[in-house]
Chains A and B, each alone.
Chain A
Amino acid sequence: MSKKFTKDHEWISLEGDLARIGITDYAQEQLGDVVFVELPEAGRQVEQGNDAAVVESVKAASEVYAPVSGEIVEPNVKLEDEPALVNQDPAEGGWFFTMKISNPDELNDLMDEAAYADYVKELG
C-alpha cells in the first residue's frame, strides 16, 4: 500500500498488518533542526489521535500523534542518537515507530498522497 497522511503531518505505510509511522517532509521543514526525539516503548497501546512520540527542535517541542489505534511494535531507536535523521530522511530512515493496527477502518479517515499534497498547498 502507498502512504496515507494525517492533517497533523504524520505519514503511515502498511506492510501486512504492521504499520510504519513518520512525519512528513513538510513537518520536518516547519520544525527546523530536530535535536531530540522521545519514542514510545514496544507494547504500549495507543489510540488514534493520541500522543505517541515527541519531537523537539532548537526552539520548540511538538507531539507526534498515532494516525490509527494499535500496539507499538518497534521504536526507531536510531533516532535517539541521530535525531537529525528526521530532517535528512523523513520519508524513510527517519521513521518513528512501527505498530500493529487494531482497526483498519481508521485508515479511511486519512488522506492519500494527492489529497495531502493539496492540503499542504493550501497551508501555504
Chain B
Amino acid sequence: MTNSTTDFDGSSKESGASSKQDSNGYARTPLYDMHLQLGAKMVPFAGYEMPVQYGLGVMGEHLHTREKAGLFDVSHMGQAQLFPEDPDSDVAPVFEALVPGGIISLKESGIRYTQLTNQDGGILDDLMVTRFGNTLWLVVNAACKNDDFAHIAQSLAGKARLSVENRALLALQGPLAEAVLKEHLPAAADLAFMQACHADFQGEKVIISRCGYTGEDGFEISLPNDLASQFAALLLENDAVAPIGLGARDSLRLEAGLCLYGHDIDTGTTPVEADLMWSVPRRRRESLDFPGAHKVSQQLSQKPDRLRVGIKPEGRAPAREGTEIHDMDNNTIGRITSGGFAPSLQAPIAMGYVSATHAAPGTQVQLIIRGKPMLAKISSMPFVEHKYLRTKS
C-alpha cells in the first residue's frame, strides 16, 4: 500500500530568515514544540514543518471545528504592515493600485479579502487586508509571502513602506470560538465578521480579526512569537477547543467553497474565471485601475472561456486534484483543482474549472477516475452553509 496522491507535498522552500529551522532546512513556527507534545504528525508545507493532523484525525478534527472550536497554527502565513511614505497621507489608495478589491472604502478596522493580480489578470496571491488608521495590515499565503512582499515593496517604492512582521498567527474557528476567546480577550466579543481590533495580552499588542478560512464564525489572533505557546495553551485548557491540523483545514475550506492558492487559483487564473468577482466592487470594475484590469473587463463583457465551479460526484469515490472532467459526450471540458471527502456531508466534493457553457449548477458531467467515467453534477458553493456573524448587536 503506497500513497499515490498527497495534498501536502510542500511547495518551494523559503529562506525563513527569522524563523527557527530544523536540519532539513524547514522553518518552524513558535508552536513547533507544542505540536510535537500534542502528538501531531508533522509534514513539510510551504517550507515549514507543519502539523497535518493530531490525535483526533482529519475527520474528527473537521467535525470538532464545525461543532465546537478548533485551534489552528497559521504562523507560517505572512504578516506585514504597510505605511504611507508621507505620514499625513492614507496608504489605501496607494495599495489599491495592486489589487482589484475596494481598499479605500475600507472603514477603520475593517477587513477585506482581495487578490494581488499581474498585468494579465492572473492571481499572484489572495490575501486579507485590514485598515488601521492610515496603514494597512496584510496577511498573505505562506508559499507566496516572500514574492508578495518583494512585489509590494518594489511596486510601491517611494509611496509606501512595507514592514514585514515576524509574529505568530493562531486561528480559532467554530461556533464556540467567541465564548472561548472572550475569556482571555474580551474585545473579541465586540467584533462582527470582517472586523478587527487591537487588544492587550500580558502587556503586549495582539490583533484580533473576526475572520478565517473554514466557513465558521471565528477569529485570527496575531501575537508576538514568544507569547504564542502560552496563549495557545490557555485556549486549549478549554474542553471546547481541540488543535486542528492542515488536513482538516483543507477539508473545511473546501466545504466552504474557498480557494486554495496554488491549486484553485494561480497566475493562470483571473478573478473572473475563479468566480471571485464578488470581491471586486463596481467602482473598481469601472475605474479599471488595477493590474490586468483590461483582461478582467474583457472577460466580464464577453464571458470567460472557463469558470471555477463546485462539483458533486454521484458515487462515493472522491475525485482528486487533476481529475479530468468530461461532458456527457466524452469531450474534455475541464479539470478538478481540489477534491476530497466532505466529513460534514459524508460524501465526496470537489471544485475545478469547466468550460463556461457547462458551468450552470445541476449540469451533469463525468469525472475520469482511474480511467473510468463517474457521474457528477455541477454544484453551487458553498457545499456547507457559512456561519459568519454578519452583524453584531
A residues with a Cβ closer than 8 A to B are 8-10, 23, 27, 31-33, 35-36, 38, 54-65, 80, 83
Contacts and interface: CB of A to CB of B under 8 A. Distances in A.
B193 interface: no
30 contacts: A8-B2, A23-B1, A27-B1, A32-B57, A32-B58, A32-B247, A33-B59, A36-B316, A36-B318, A36-B341, A36-B348, A38-B317, A55-B1, A56-B318, A56-B341, A57-B58, A58-B59, A58-B343, A59-B7, A59-B58, A59-B247, A59-B251, A60-B4, A61-B3, A62-B1, A62-B4, A63-B2, A63-B4, A80-B316, A83-B316
Interface of B: 1-8, 52-53, 57-60, 62, 247, 250-251, 316-318, 320, 340-341, 343, 348, 370
A64 to B, nearest CB: 5
B58 A8 contact: no
Contact of A64 (B1, B58, B59, B251): B1
Contacts of B52: 59
| A interface, over-half SS | strand
Given A32-B247, A61-B5, A38 B57 contact: no
Contacts of A9: 1
Contacts, number: 74
A35 to B, nearest CB: 4
Contacts of B247: 32, 58-59
Given A38-B370, A58-B340, A59-B250, A33 B58 contact: yes
Contacts of A33: 57-60
Given A27-B1, A31-B1, 19 more contacts: A8-B1, A8-B2, A10-B1, A32-B58, A32-B59, A32-B247, A33-B57, A36-B316, A36-B318, A36-B348, A56-B317, A56-B318, A58-B58, A59-B7, A61-B3, A62-B1, A62-B4, A63-B1, A63-B2
A56 to B, nearest CB: 5
Contacts of A80: 316
Contacts of A54: 370
Given A32-B247, A35-B341, A61 B318 contact: yes
A99 B60 CA distance: 35
Contact of B53 (A32, A36, A63): A32
A6 to B, nearest CB: 8
Contact of A61 (B4, B60, B251): B4
A56 B289 CA distance: 46
Nearest to A53: B1
